[in-house]
Structure 1
Amino acid sequence: MTPPTAATPGSVDPSISRADRMPSATGPSGLGRLRRGPFRFALPAVAAAALMAGCTSGSDGAESAGSASSAPPASPPGPGGIPPAATPEPPKPKGQDDPALREFYTQQLAWEPCKDDPETTEKDEREFQCATLRVPLDYAAPAARSIEIAVMRHPAGKADARIGSLLTNPGGPGGSGVDWLKYAYARFDGGIHDRFDVVSFDPRGVGASTPVRCLDDAVRDRRNGDDGPDPADHAATKAHGEQLGKEFAAACQEKSGDLLQHVGTRNAARDMDVLRGVLGDAKLNYLGYSYGTYLGSLYTEEFPDRVGRLVLDGAVDPAQDPLEKSVNQQIGFEQSFTRFAKDCAARAGCPFGRDAEKAPKIASDFLDGLRTKPLRTNDSKRKLTSNLGWTGAINLLYGDEDKQWKWLREAFTYAMRDANGAALLYYADNYNGRDEKGKYDGSMDALPVIRCADMMAEAPTPERIQEMLAKLKKEAPLFSQNTVAEDFEGPGCEYWPFRTTEKPHTVKAPASNPVLVVGTTGDPATPYEASERLAAGLEHATLLTLEGEGHGAYGKGSDCIDDAVDAYLLEGALPPAGTRCT
């Protein structure tokens, strides 16, 4: 690949970046107040009192994690005032055993060659097959309305050795599995390609499936480039964030209506089981990255008897509350940013100078300084603001130290020495899902909508806020220099038209087959601790570790990781406990 320049940055592989994205400057598309440091995450303030009650639990009658009990009322007392023994209700059928869902599990997919994408020169998409799956909008009322799920597959290369289907999810939430498979399919060359139909899909609310829609392109451009008030002005920052949150929630409600409360991950897991059944697989074989590990985790909880061989790479810990997850992610990115800047200082020509201890602060101060001195770009209508500069830098921290860190060094060089922000703007646009024509792919609408369908409704306690704030200040001093306790107040999604019943909880899945969890020690987006905790929580899980940088491990260049994952998927052979790769 030609080295990137200010005019032609290196193309970012969607299978590497944007897999589990930090929200943009306006929180998750403006759901709450801005974080007061150089890069932001959504931890809104003041809770709104007028939110409607949450989602239903699904047609199979199983409660969502943390939902209220649906036990029948007590029977009247028998003779002598002694209540009769309660007769337990038989479990309601779920999934393919539910008669109300039979029409969805028995549908036939009309596969046809996919349309070739002229933007991808390495692959002819007509080699893939595309189809549309029908699923219920609401699993509690499956006959009421159905929605569409876009599906893509690449048939197994050796039909006589075919194992079945391998479903994949690239992360997000909001990531298109169909678009991802076009770029990422090369990582499956070899045994996986020979023996599996590799399948991906756009989850409900995303991409070519029935999508959520909120903001138009012009509004999205304005928000992404908005640095907001001075971060030291807490009152102005709060008011600005609240206004953005209200506008975003109203736009989503107007354009997406009743779709909003049904796009949560638990429903996506149910969709995935419908797809498994329609594909003819008795059990689900699955590879999920980042947010896709949360989708896979909930699948093991909903359908433990349908779990085949599951790989959860770059794990999200379902037991972490939103506050802890955001703080840990912020810490992870600061640590990765610091390692990048120090690595740069050891190289000739680094724009941060040669002092490794000073380099992170110099890089951070430069990006913060774009608030008052935005840079020109190759687009006469757009400048590189601080928010866009940080977004572009964060995007490349998802990758490894060999390729993406090289591109980030060059992007900083063009910005700091040539006063040209084109490269960082390119990487920011890639992260935000914006193409060269100014069209957004909708992923940044889907991200906060899905998170609000998944996020707990309770606000953190003052004690919890102080605990997390102290941790953030200690472990991410650069990124949290302007953060205050009130940034963490409120349950999140204050202006949303419903409240979810989902809560953080440990997924155990005692009845499932063994699961392989893969974690990377230098992962900024889903820090390694989350992989450790997910593997420890699951009753039948093995943790495979990559010692290195970047988000996600499989297919990223480690033969040790790839061989171990392939052996598990192809033969069911788990690596020895404690296996670590470099």
Structure 2
Amino acid sequence: MTTHRTGRRLVLAALVVGNLLLATACNDLATVQPADAGAVGSAGAAAKPAGADDPRLGTFYGQHIGWHACRPDAGSPPADLTGMQCGELRVPLDYADPAADALGVALVRLPAADPTRRVGSLVVNPGGPGGSGVEMVAMGRKLFDGALHNRFDVVGFDPRGSGASSPVTCLTDRQRDDRDQVDLPVDPAKRRAVLEQRDTELTTACAAKSGRLLPFVGTRSTARDLDVLRQALGDPRLNYLGISYGTYLGALYAEEFPARTGRLILDGAVDPAADALEESTDQIIGFESSLRRFADDCVRTHAAECPLGGDPDTAAKKAADYLEGLHDRPLDTADGRRLTSDLGWAGTQALLYGDETDAWPALRAALTMAMVGKRGDLLLASADRFHGRDEKGHYTTLSDSHNAISCADGAAAAPSPERAQQVVAKLKAEAPLVTQGVSVEDYQHGRCENWPFRSPEKPHVVRAEGSTPILVVGSTGDPATPYAAAENLAKGLAHATLLTREGEGHGAFGRGNTCIDAAYEAYLVSGAMPAPGTRCAG
């Protein structure tokens, strides 16, 4: 769900837009004051609104969206916008003081193809945090072909602080490129110093450019926005498909507004009770496992086009050692940038989000180009997509939004020396390939500890007593949100059924699995849950 620093790599987990498709608020630093958990107010759970019953929110709950035909954006990838409608939702910046200021939330709607049998609206979120729901619908309309498009108005939105919804902005495109072209040092002490410098630069830039927004972009505020959107769409209950980080958003919505839940699918689930360190550790182990399965498949099934040798027992290590070696021997690319070790790992991890059909062939080709052809273009292109960089060198808001939302969802204290030792020992035992060079020094600081404010959010079990039955979906080979997280989320919810997809890749939606597709259709259209314990083969 979040970006975690571990050794020399970043794991950006829970963004699925790119895998499904394979493809302006400025204030100065003084506006955000450091605070303890109790002083942030509406940035977290301390200020709980009464939703539509709160008279202060009447203007927002009473609004009507002015839908209009979507127009192509010259700065966005091409998309088939035929029949799509765009609009904007107004929401309070601060739910504790709704009259003070408002934000615009960008919307897109794909109207039901069979309006005479329309069930209602289906609001979707692709993950992140910071992923664009507008892009998911606008560029991925084929994902909804069939019953979902026929029976629902499919609605995508850019969560506050991201995309076209008052995005958080921090670093420039040039600053991002410059960072990517320099690997973090191998020496733990030097690596720590560079990371601290980068954290300071990022925090200062975010506070200077978007300080007004930072306390108010957390997921709980976005969950409250979802309820305003539900009302504006004319739906008595929210029907929702959340993928990856979107499962956390959906869970918090159910916690805040259990009586307003309709049919909720939480796919590629995040465990809201896991702390940042636990989540990070599980993700890293998940990517190690996926790398090993990819390498084994590469050698055994695709030997003629596999650059990892002929021994399944050493294939994954050969890939990892090669990526590590890029630290000293970066590769040239066509646009003049170099493929560094950190970029090579990012490009590899991005393709491990997919499965044997949609991504592993591309990873084989990228590693072959690098290891045999001595060119880094394909791995760099994968890393660019992962980081939201287009061919012209412009970055989306994803990375800045991701950091800001993650920190608004809760800072984490540095682990005790004992726990840091335990984590490193576990990683060395279960993920030795992707944690080469990791040391206890990498865990001397907590997440967001230098951020300009302190969020009151804490990891906790979400019960959502009083909600309708919720469908939780987990994939056994998911590296980014491992299957155990889906089990834990479903177990914690008061009314939930767990559906299992047996297979590789992050998330089950959009993978052409007929068993999964049938279960989604039956639940969303008629409310029919799959039988407990249902497993869909890959």
With normalisation by structure 1, the TM-score equals 0.85
Q: Matches of residues 93-242 of structure 1 in structure 2 within 5 Å?
A: 94-116=50-72, 123-229=79-185, 231=186, 233-242=187-196
Which position in structure 2 is the counterpart of 1:326? 280
Which position in structure 2 is the counterpart of 1:266? 220
Q: CA deviation at 1:467?
A: 3.0
Which position in structure 1 is the counterpart of 2:36? 53
2:368 corresponds to 1:413: yes
1: CA distance, partners of 2:445 / 2:371: 38
SS at structure 1 position matched to 2:211 = helix
1:31-54 per-residue CA deviation (whole Å, 9 max, x = no partner) reads xxxx325x3359xxxxxxx94324
Which position in structure 2 is the counterpart of 1:275? 229
Which position in structure 1 is the counterpart of 2:334? 378
Residues 286 and 311, structure 1, Cα contact 8 Å, conserved in 2: yes
Letter matched to residue 115 of structure 2: A
% identity of equivalent residues = 54
Which position in structure 2 is the counterpart of 1:500? 455
SS at structure 2 position matched to 1:125 = coil
2: CA distance, partners of 1:550 / 1:434: 22
Which position in structure 2 is the counterpart of 1:40? 10
2:247 corresponds to 1:293: yes
2: CA distance, partners of 1:431 / 1:482: 23
Letter matched to residue 498 of structure 2: L
Q: Greater share of helix residues, 1 or 2?
A: 2
1:51-90 per-residue CA deviation (whole Å, 9 max, x = no partner) reads 432464439xxx72xx6xx9xxxxxxxxxxxxxxxxxxxx
With normalisation by structure 2, the TM-score equals 0.92
1: CA distance, partners of 2:481 / 2:344: 22
Q: Is the alpha carbon distance of 1:120 and 1:244 closer, same or farther for their aligned partners in structure 2, counting shifts above 3 Å?
A: closer
Aligned residues: 513
1: CA distance, partners of 2:464 / 2:263: 14
2: CA distance, partners of 1:239 / 1:363: 28
Q: Matches of residues 456-495 of structure 1 in structure 2 within 5 Å?
A: 456-495=411-450
Which position in structure 2 is the counterpart of 1:342? 296
1:508-546 per-residue CA deviation (whole Å, 9 max, x = no partner) reads 112100000000000000000000000000011000000
Residues 51 and 494, structure 1, Cα contact 8 Å, conserved in 2: no
Letter matched to residue 479 of structure 2: P
Q: Matches of residues 80-99 of structure 1 in structure 2 within 5 Å?
A: 94-99=50-55
2: CA distance, partners of 1:109 / 1:516: 29
SS at structure 2 position matched to 1:219 = helix
Residues 414 and 423, structure 1, Cα contact 8 Å, conserved in 2: yes
2: CA distance, partners of 1:179 / 1:317: 25
SS at structure 2 position matched to 1:427 = helix
Residues 22 and 525, structure 1, Cα contact 8 Å, conserved in 2: no
Q: CA deviation at 1:22?
A: 4.5
2: CA distance, partners of 1:147 / 1:375: 44
SS at structure 2 position matched to 1:300 = helix
2:486 corresponds to 1:531: yes
Q: CA deviation at 1:491?
A: 2.6
CA RMSD between the two structures = 1.8
Which position in structure 1 is the counterpart of 2:25? none
Residues 296 and 312, structure 2, Cα contact 8 Å, conserved in 1: yes
Letter matched to residue 194 of structure 1: N
SS at structure 1 position matched to 2:499 = strand
Q: CA deviation at 1:457?
A: 3.9
Residues 476 and 503, structure 2, Cα contact 8 Å, conserved in 1: yes
2: CA distance, partners of 1:22 / 1:400: 22
Q: Is the alpha carbon distance of 1:340 and 1:487 closer, same or farther for their aligned partners in structure 2, counting shifts above 3 Å?
A: same
Q: CA deviation at 1:116?
A: 2.6
SS at structure 2 position matched to 1:407 = helix
2: CA distance, partners of 1:56 / 1:284: 28
SS at structure 2 position matched to 1:521 = strand
2: CA distance, partners of 1:57 / 1:520: 37
Letter matched to residue 42 of structure 2: G
Letter matched to residue 345 of structure 1: V
Structure of larger gyration radius = 1
1: CA distance, partners of 2:111 / 2:211: 37
Q: CA deviation at 1:464?
A: 2.8
Letter matched to residue 216 of structure 1: T
2: CA distance, partners of 1:168 / 1:454: 20
SS at structure 2 position matched to 1:519 = strand
Letter matched to residue 520 of structure 2: V
Q: CA deviation at 1:117?
A: 5.1
Q: Is the alpha carbon distance of 1:107 and 1:262 closer, same or farther for their aligned partners in structure 2, counting shifts above 3 Å?
A: same
2: CA distance, partners of 1:511 / 1:490: 39
SS at structure 1 position matched to 2:212 = helix
Residue number among 313, 316, 320 corresponding to 1:364 in the alignment: 320
Letter matched to residue 293 of structure 1: T
2: CA distance, partners of 1:170 / 1:153: 15
2:276 corresponds to 1:306: no
Structure 2, gaps ≥5 residues long: 13-32
Which position in structure 2 is the counterpart of 1:8? none
